[in-house]
Amino acid sequence: MTRIVVLISGHGSNLQALIDAQQRDELGGGQIVAVLSNRAEAYGLKRAQQANIPTEHLSHRDFAEREAFDAALMSRIDNYQPDLIVLAGFMRILTPAFVQHYAGKMVNIHPSLLPKYPGMHTHARAIEAGDQEHGASVHFVTEGVDEGPVILQGRIPILADDTPDTLQQRVHALEHQLYPRAVRMICEQHPT
């Protein structure tokens, strides 16, 4: 079994896609052993609790420095002895020490076809550039924001009447299919 810890900050719809895949036994031997959030009000914590997955909250606001928060978060995560860390809408830039601690075993999903459009506002940027397609990428996390090796991508066409909001909605639906597939691939390739 591959032990998975998921980090979230908000609604947790990608987390729900992973929980649903786990309940269908479609994570390639992966098991979500905990969900941690930096926001107590994150609805994703309720999603995890409804699936009987342990949850923890650790507010970044309780720490004067980013490094202190990341060190405390690492300690909490390490209590679960994870094989894989999945960032699912975790809205924090991670320190180099955190990234190095989980090098090669932490993944993120990003709403663009990396290396195109790292960072924010990917949907508007794709439309403004006149791109014909857009999508999402699951990648390993490295110190550079959205620069890690890509594991899996999904593509959708950009429609003539797409706005950043409509494109975001369609990409988000794609993410819900893509993230469980990528996690399954990782778990099957690196069973523990």
pLDDT of residue 190: 77
Asked if pLDDT for residue 119 goes beyond 80, the answer is yes
* CATH number for the domain that contains residue 67: 3.40.50.170
Torsion of CA 105, 106, 109, 114, to 10 degrees: -70
Residue with token string 């508007």: 124
Using one digit for the tens of pLDDT, what is the confidence trace for 19-62? 999 999 999 999 999 999 999 999 999 999 999 999 999 999 99
What average pLDDT does the structure give for the chain?
Answer: 97
Using one digit for the tens of pLDDT, what is the confidence trace for 124-161? 999 999 999 999 999 999 999 899 999 999 999 999 99
Q: How many domains does the chain have?
A: 1
pTM score of the predicted model: 0.96
pLDDT of residue 192: 62
Residue with token string 């469980």: 180
Considering 60, 110, 121, 134, which one is annotated as catalytic?
Answer: 110
- Domain range enclosing 171: 2-189
Question: How many Cα atoms sit within 13 Å of 28 on the Cβ side?
Answer: 17
Percent of the chain whose pLDDT exceeds 70: 99
- The DSSP H or E segment spanning 166 is helix 164-189
110 is catalytic: yes
